[in-house]
Amino acid sequence: MRRPVQWKSGIPDFFIDPQGAGRYTFGKYIQEGEHMADWLDNAIFYEIYPQSFQDSNGDGIGDFRGIMRRLDYIRDLGCNAIWMNPCFESPFYDAGYDVTDFYQAAPRYGTNEELRELFEEVHRRGMHILLDLVAGHTSLESPWFKASCRPEQNAYTKRFIWTDSVMEDTGDISGVCGWLRGMADRDGAVAVNCFSTQPALNYGFGNVTKPWQSAADSPEAEEGRRLLEDIMSFWLELGCDGFRVDMAASLVKADPGHRCTKRLWQKVRRFLDTHYPEAVLVSEWGDPKEAIEAGFHMDFLLHNGPTHYMSLFREQPYFSKRGTGDISAFARTYEEHYRSAEGKGLLCIPSGNHDMKRLRDTLDEEEMKLAFVFLLTMPGCPFVYYGDEIGMRYLDGLTSREGGYERTGSRTPMQWENTVNAGFSAAPEERLYLPVDPDPARPTVESEKSDPGSLFHVVKELTKLRQSHPALLSGGDIRFLYAEQNAYPFLYERRSAEESLLVILNPADRAGACPLAEEPGEILYFCGSRARREELTWKDGQLRVPPCSAAVCRKKG
């Protein structure tokens, strides 16, 4: 049930600045003893939901060989890194976030050998790939969990969180979503994360109040951490480049301020820095200040958490042409998180993901173009959710599949061509993982490519722009110049040692104006179907921005 670890040998040399301030990366100093994988500097990620991306064998479900078939598309779009949702063996009560065997690829996607081949094909194209690691729980069908259910003591008795009695009143414990009772010969109730099909692994408790609770530094909690490191080693040795960690803040229970959870991840980070220094850890935490302190290289701005991410695209969205949004709270909070993470890690802004409604549900194509200008000119690594680059719709009212519920409509098959099943699969319609968007006017890669003014081409132009300018890369600095309450436009400066760029955004369906001390400079990129470059004007310290437009300018000097 555990696999031997084969360590990669050697630790790379680092450039130490002559003043002794720390190791240098991305134009910033990071703390001594830390390391940031160099490839993150220009990384643009593409999220793949494997069961919905491309079916290669006609069974109606996407697979590894289907992904390999589409790698050139991802690269040509301008994305050079991939985050793939869970692909391990699972009963799929929660779309693979309920793992049976962490060392085995799910047969519906392919074999471990095919997954290794996928890693090689990704690397052959100069790209990188992260696997989705479910760190906090297994499935009910996991051999580890089944062994823990036995009444006699064994190696797995304390691998999960069990009370001493099935009748015990457990009370409300932070980090525990519920309890399963009466489903094993063993006396006791077992804690679960999220769904009842996900028994929680035991990483201990920050505050121990019951005899059955392990401390966060107990032998069983430490064994849980070593298990994580073993799983990571297995897949890193096979060729992946790191992990996006599911529910990363939830591991230690009853842990105020996530103090003990941070300590756990800091140990994992030290392990990776020592043995796999180019491996990357991205957290589903939703609070970058905490996550990066915990040792993650990056944290997402999410639909939950304190970052005001939802005010960008989904809830009273700033990027709506209605012009009723407010960017000020986002900018204020972003700057706070950005400065706390500076030199230590990155903030990632996704277009969306498998857990939220698609961008196209609240924004039309014109609005999405401006949203992508923002996404691809901000610091940190941008993440594009599959299909968002062509404006795929959220399909409302679908019957839940594999625990999707209201999220199901964001997980439908990728729309490649104007052919049967939109080119996703040759299977009969009734065997598809989920229905394809039935709208005859649904966007496809084929139709978007044929339209020079499409969203697809805007995204492609922006990825090229980002890769061409050091100031726009992950570690380029940012300064908000105009981000006022209930006001349009939105201005920020991106800077590197080589250049200074000004990003101007006015999603509102009306002209906007704001003070700007210096002339914006040469327009490198302009986006606006209703406006022309000439309508962006500056005079006497006042910038006037046409409606529904965006520009990236190179400042003089």
Residue range 61-117, pLDDT digits in tens = 999 999 999 999 999 999 999 999 999 999 999 999 999 999 999 999 999 999 999
Q: What is the pLDDT of residue 8?
A: 29
Q: Is the pLDDT at 236 greater than 70, yes or no?
A: yes
Q: Is the pLDDT at 526 greater than 70, yes or no?
A: yes
Q: Is the pLDDT at 436 greater than 50, yes or no?
A: yes
Q: Considering only residues 317 and 343, tell me which one the structure prediction assigns the higher pLDDT.
A: 317
Q: What is the pLDDT of residue 267?
A: 98
C-alpha separations of 335 from 338, 400, 486, 550 in Å:
5, 38, 18, 21
Contact (CB, 8 A) for 109 and 64: yes
Q: Region 535-554: what's the mean pLDDT?
A: 97
Q: Considering only residues 16 and 437, tell me which one the structure prediction assigns the higher pLDDT.
A: 437
Q: What is the pLDDT of residue 33?
A: 44
Q: What is the pLDDT of residue 16?
A: 24
Pairing of strands 280-283, 242-246: parallel
Residue range 172-223, pLDDT digits in tens = 999 999 999 999 999 999 999 999 999 999 999 999 999 999 999 999 999 9
Q: What is the pLDDT of residue 342?
A: 85
Beta strands in 65-110 (DSSP E): 81-84, 88-89, 101-105
**50 vs 48: CA distance, rounded Å:** 6
C-alpha separations of 386 from 149, 185, 378, 415, 419 in Å:
39, 44, 20, 10, 19
Indicate the pLDDT class of residue 557, thresholds 50, 70 and 90.
low
Q: What is the pLDDT of residue 303?
A: 86
Indicate the pLDDT class of residue 537, thresholds 50, 70 and 90.
very high
Backbone angles phi, psi at 544, to 5 degrees: -115, 130
Range from 22-31, 316-325, 329-338 carrying the lowest mean pLDDT: 22-31
C-alpha separations of 76 from 65, 71, 79, 419, 465 in Å:
18, 9, 7, 22, 14
Q: Considering only residues 369 and 4, tell me which one the structure prediction assigns the higher pLDDT.
A: 369
Range from 10-14, 154-158, 329-333 carrying the lowest mean pLDDT: 10-14
Residue range 295-325, pLDDT digits in tens = 999 999 998 889 999 999 999 999 999 999 9
**65 vs 552: CA distance, rounded Å:** 38
Q: Is the pLDDT at 355 greater than 80, yes or no?
A: yes
What's the mean per-residue pLDDT of the chain? 93
Q: What is the pTM of this model?
A: 0.93
